[in-house]
């Protein structure tokens, strides 16, 4: 059982790391600001989400697990709002980037 | 397991650090804010991975960081807008 | 070479960098930024001393750590006051400069204002 | 062990890189973004130095709230940027500054590389009295028991800074409200965040305060979180900044330091004198002081970020 949970952790955390890699590559390689924003949100949502998912079996206690999920939800909420604000400010600047 | 989590934390940090090149290159302020945002998320992920190794208090640090990063990001977009 | 030494050297370099920036930058706001970097370097020195003083089952000596916490708060209040001073200077004179001579009309007016 | 050391080396290089960028960047806006990234990375360094309390403070105050002050100022001072280009000091001056900086760096590096052996520590002394205080977090014990005079004076410094900021307002605005940071659209995403995030943030702030007695956390960190939430509500345009002449506001500002001072003076009734706590009751007193302090610090931090009054007082 323990080994199985460890495998879940390794797989999910690695998948999360891949999304951070993808987000960075996108941020560097995509041609304009809006597509870069698109890449960033993948790392924000899925990268952190998968890391949280992978860590759930590792923390002890329901409270710590709950805190993990709460942190992810918080990052989601903030990320969604900030991305929307960044996109709007770009539109106001007339897509100068 | 702790070595794996620490190594992954290092990898994620390295990734978001490479993303910081956008602070240098811009060109728009929006791009700079994006890389700071990515760094914030990466920092939270690294703290969580550290907490997974059993270090105490890191979850609370990540919680605070998530709140304050959101606040800082809002303040930034707001100021960038006003210019 | 252990972690504490590594971060100690990092802090020393930060102090150097911050000092250079504080002296060389013409804009007051950038001086404030550089000064905060300098402060961060000094705090790191405290952190290194605390880490080396790890004892009695604690990861570090709590006394320097508590001093750094106090220091961060005081650095913030000083920064806020300095920024308010610069903004007031700007309100009064339309300029934010520490030069004693009133500078002649800017040579490249508005050119650098686009992003 | 080597993985951890590699991580440390990478982190140290990153911190230096971001610091270099903050010094060398062209536009001030870019430099401030670099500074916030610097604060974030520094918080991680504090974790690596086994100082989670400091990491929390750095993340909350060092990068979050300081970043907000600096970025608002950078936006306002933007028109002055081009004219300062001509004021760069000459090559000789820069060379002297660089030499001086290198000298200071070398001196500090020498101290780091050849430390005193054995390393001086107050750790055992701090740990010895923890059971008496019944406080599990040694840093909180230092801040509110062993070195509580420092903490009291630091509160006074915060108040003085706020008085200093207020006194920079023109006379006609004295007692008025600080400027709104920016009127936001009432239906935008920001207004939504301004409604949803603060309740969560207040719960987190209270939790950080409470947990500070036994684990990393405490009054400053909690106060910075609360202040950020208050500022978020103001930025989102949901609430105006308060008029600075309000008596209730001013009472709130001094309540924390006043309670702290009163408890300190009450210590004269005990054998140990100023700022000593009665044996066996230290923990509830410390938590009570911290609770009031948190409120006061939160209001002070929020008002420091909001800046001097910019509107005439309303009758």
Ranges of residues in chain A whose predicted pLDDT is under 50: 96-97
Gap between the Cα atoms of D13 and C9, Å rounded: 11
Gap between the Cα atoms of D128 and A47, Å rounded: 44
The pLDDT tens digits for D211-256 are 887 788 788 889 999 999 998 888 888 888 888 888 888 999 988 8
pLDDT of D87: 67
Are the CB atoms for D224 and D251 separated by under 8 Å? Answer: no
**By the CB < 8 Å criterion, does B31 face chain A?**
yes
Task: Give chain C's domains with CATH numbers.
Answer: 8-93 (1.10.287.3510)
ipTM score assigned to the predicted complex:
0.88
Single out the residue of C48, C1, C42 nearest to residue C18, CA to CA.
C42
Query: Which of B20-29, C74-83, D164-173, D274-283 holds the top average pLDDT?
Result: C74-83
Which one of D14, D193, D199, D214 would you mutate to disrupt binding with A, by most A Cβ within 10 Å of its Cβ? D193
Are the CB atoms for C13 and C41 separated by under 8 Å? Answer: yes
pLDDT at residue C84 tops 70: yes
Q: Which residues of B touch D30 (CB under 8 A)?
A: 23-24, 26, 29, 32
Mean pLDDT of chain A: 84
Ranges of residues in chain D whose predicted pLDDT is under 70: 1, 83-87, 180-187, 315
Strand pairing partners for D309? Answer: D178
Q: Which has the higher per-residue pLDDT, C63 or D133?
A: C63
The ranges assigned to domains in chain B are 2-81
pLDDT of C112: 37
What's the 3-state SS for chain C?
A: CCHHHHHHHHHHHHHHHHHHHHHHCCCHHHHHHHHHHHHHHHHHHHHHHHHHCCCCCCCCCHHHHHHHHHHHHHHHHHHHHHHHHHHHHHHHHCCCCCCCCCCCCCCCCCHHHCC
Contact D33 B23 (CB under 8 A): yes
CA distance B71 to chain D (A): 6
Contact D189 A78 (CB under 8 A): no
Gap between the Cα atoms of D142 and D276, Å rounded: 13
pLDDT above 90 covers a percentage of chain B that reads 2
Q: Which residues of B touch C3 (CB under 8 A)?
A: none
Rounded to an integer, the average pLDDT of B15-28 is: 81
The ranges assigned to domains in chain A are 2-93
CA distance D138 to chain B (A): 14
Q: Which residues of D touch C58 (CB under 8 A)?
A: 123, 126-127, 138
Strands (E), chain B: none
Gap between the Cα atoms of D185 and B81, Å rounded: 13
pLDDT of C56: 66
**By the CB < 8 Å criterion, does D243 face chain C?**
no
Contact C80 D84 (CB under 8 A): no
Please calculate the CA angle D14-D17-D19 and round it to the nearest 5 degrees: 110
Q: Encoding tokens for residue B16?
A: 């978001």
Rounded to an integer, the average pLDDT of B29-56 is: 84
The ranges assigned to domains in chain D are 1-79, 129-306
Mean pLDDT of chain C: 82
pLDDT at residue B74 tops 90: no
- For D62, the enclosing helix (H) or strand (E) is none
Are the CB atoms for B73 and A78 separated by under 8 Å? Answer: yes
Give the C-alpha distances (Å, rounded to integers) separating C20 from C62, D36, D74, D175, D262: 31, 20, 21, 40, 44
Contact D197 A84 (CB under 8 A): no
pLDDT of C108: 41
pLDDT of C104: 47
Gap between the Cα atoms of D55 and C40, Å rounded: 12
At C114, the pLDDT band (50, 70, 90 cuts) reads very low
Tell me the whole-structure pTM to 2 decimals.
0.89
Gap between the Cα atoms of D66 and D53, Å rounded: 18
């Amino acid at each position: 059982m323990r080994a199985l949970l460890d495998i879940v952790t390794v797989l999910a955390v690695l998948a999360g790391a891949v999304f951070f890699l993808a987000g960075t590559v996108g941020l560097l390689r995509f041609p304009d600001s809006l597509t870069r924003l698109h890449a960033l949100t993948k790392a924000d949502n899925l990268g952190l989400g998968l890391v949280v998912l992978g860590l759930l079996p590792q923390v002890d206690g329901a409270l710590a697990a709950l805190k993990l999920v709460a942190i992810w939800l918080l990052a989601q909420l903030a990320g969604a709002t900030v991305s929307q604000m960044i996109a709007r400010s770009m539109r106001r600047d007339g897509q100068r980037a | 397991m702790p070595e794996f989590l620490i190594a992954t934390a290092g990898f994620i940090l390295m990734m978001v650090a490479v993303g910081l090149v956008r602070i240098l290159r811009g060109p728009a302020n929006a791009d700079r804010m994006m890389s700071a945002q990515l760094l914030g998320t990466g920092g939270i992920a690294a703290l969580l991975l550290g907490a997974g190794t059993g270090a105490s208090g890191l979850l609370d640090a990540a919680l605070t960081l998530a709140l304050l990063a959101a606040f800082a990001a809002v303040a930034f977009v707001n100021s960038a807008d006003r210019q | 070479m252990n972690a504490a030494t590594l971060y100690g050297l990092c802090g020393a370099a930060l102090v150097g960098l911050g000092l250079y920036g504080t002296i060389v930058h013409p804009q007051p706001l950038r001086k404030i930024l550089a000064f905060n970097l300098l402060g961060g370097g000094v705090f790191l020195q405290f952190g290194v001393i605390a880490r080396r003083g790890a004892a009695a089952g604690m990861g570090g000596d709590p006394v320097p750590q508590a001093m750094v916490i106090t220091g961060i708060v005081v650095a913030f209040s000083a920064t806020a006051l300095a920024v308010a001073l610069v903004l007031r200077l700007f309100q009064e004179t339309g300029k934010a400069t520490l030069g004693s001579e009133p500078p002649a009309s800017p040579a490249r007016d508005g050119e650098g204002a686009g992003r | 062990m080597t993985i951890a050391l590699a991580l440390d080396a990478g982190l140290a290089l990153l911190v230096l890189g971001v610091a270099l960028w903050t010094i060398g960047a062209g536009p001030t806006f870019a430099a401030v973004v670099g500074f916030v990234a610097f604060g974030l990375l520094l918080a991680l360094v504090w974790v690596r130095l086994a100082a989670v309390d400091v990491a929390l403070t750095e993340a909350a105050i060092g990068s979050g709230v300081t970043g907000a002050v600096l970025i608002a100022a950078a936006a306002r001072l933007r028109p002055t940027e081009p004219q300062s280009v001509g004021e760069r000091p000459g090559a000789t001056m820069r060379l002297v500054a660089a030499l001086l900086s290198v000298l200071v760096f070398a001196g500090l590096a020498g101290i780091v590389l050849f430390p005193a052996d054995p390393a001086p520590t107050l750790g055992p002394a701090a740990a010895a009295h923890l059971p008496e205080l019944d406080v599990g977090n040694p840093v909180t014990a230092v801040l509110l028991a062993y070195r509580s005079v420092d903490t009291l004076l630091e509160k006074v410094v915060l108040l003085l800074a706020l008085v200093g900021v207020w006194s920079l307002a023109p006379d006609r605005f004295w007692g008025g409200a600080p400027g709104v940071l920016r009127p936001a659209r009432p239906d935008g995403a920001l207004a939504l965040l301004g409604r949803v995030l603060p309740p969560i943030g207040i719960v987190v702030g209270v939790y950080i305060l409470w947990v500070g007695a036994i684990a990393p956390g405490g009054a400053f960190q909690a106060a910075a979180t609360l202040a950020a939430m208050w500022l978020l509500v103001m930025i989102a345009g949901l609430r105006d900044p308060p008029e600075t002449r309000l008596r209730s506001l001013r009472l709130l500002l001094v309540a924390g330091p006043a309670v702290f001072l009163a408890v300190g003076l009450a210590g004269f009734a005990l054998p140990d004198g100023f700022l000593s706590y009665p044996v066996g009751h230290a923990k509830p007193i410390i938590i009570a002081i911290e609770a009031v302090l948190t409120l006061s610090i939160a209001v002070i931090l929020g008002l420091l970020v909001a800046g001097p009054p910019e509107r005439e007082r309303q009758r």
